[in-house]
Amino acid sequence: MSPLISATELTAILNNEKLVLIDARSGPNARAKYEKEHLAGSMFVDLDKDLADIKPDAANGGRHPLPEPEKFAELLGRLGIAHNSHLVVYDDMSGANAASRFWWMLRAAGHSTVQVLDGGYQAAVAAGIPVSSVKEQAKQVDPYPFKAWELPTITIDEVAKAVHDPDYLVVDVRDAARYRGETEPIDLIAGHIHGAVNIPFQSNLAQDGTYLSPEALREKYATALGGRDMEHVVVHCGSGVTACHTALAMDYAGLGIPTLYVGSWSEWSRNDRPIGTGA
């Protein structure tokens, strides 16, 4: 199954009884926006509360560390997600934020029938998909049966070794100004992991906010990856959320899913590790 679904394709399966729609918009007003208007039937997930286990100190795991599998399994059960459910998840940032994170977590839980809505909420509204402001009720099921994350992740110490190993490529998907250390709107220190390369996630998108074609993405990344297998390709961002956008792009291109550094810059920059600036 493609990791992406267009608004037109979603329209054709809206009556599928196995379909579960997930609204993963994030930010301080996300729930209010959901309550005001959302795709009819969609259930809301909160990036900070549902898709992360935030700690008091981001130096240990970053700003959005993964929750324990048992906690995520319980969330899926509350949302009515079973092993045969078809998940479609959207946000309002072209899948660049919590939608792609939710996709990665479902795939890491062993669930393959999950797709991100290409173009996000805006594309759905433009396509005439019904919206609603009613309080949705999920048909709860048992916790999803998985015990451990199945996709590869990497620790801060392993990243420190990887940036010196030519068999590895560490990709920073933040925008170029943050990578160069010219600005840092969220974390304490500006710059990048010394040895990482910068391929901003925005370059995965066309001007209309949808993903580039699989062929264009494959051509773009094939050169950068230099033939490395995906276990040796590490993606990161500020806190392990937007990096999943690039993981999805690589999978959409037919390259597979790379290794995710969940702690990302928010962890690295708080641990007295080598920091680079400039291009």
User: Over the chain (279 residues), what is each successive 10-residue block's mean pLDDT?
Assistant: 98 97 96 98 98 96 98 97 97 92 98 98 97 94 95 98 98 98 96 98 96 97 94 98 98 98 98 96
Residues 120 and 14 in one domain: yes
pTM of the model: 0.97
Q: According to the model, what pLDDT value does residue 276 have? A: 97
Which residue among 237, 241, 247, 248 is the active-site one? Answer: 237
- Predicted local confidence at residue 96, as pLDDT: 84
Can you give the pLDDT at residue 231?
A: 94
H helix intervals, 149-242: 156-162, 176-180, 214-225
Q: How far apart are the first and last CA of the chain?
A: 37
Same structural domain, 113 and 195: no
Quote the pLDDT of residue 95. Answer: 82
Please tell me whether residue 211 adopts helix, strand or coil conformation.
strand
Q: Residue 181: which domain range?
A: 156-276
Q: What are phi and psi of 141, to 5 degrees?
A: -130, 180
Question: Which pLDDT score, from 0 to 100, does residue 49 have?
Answer: 97
Tell whether 144 is covered by a domain. no
Last residue of a domain, one of 97, 132, 167: 132
The beta strand positions in 64-191, using DSSP E, are 86-90, 114-117, 131-132, 169-172
User: Is there a single domain that holds both residue 235 and residue 124?
Assistant: no
**Is 237 considered catalytic here?**
yes
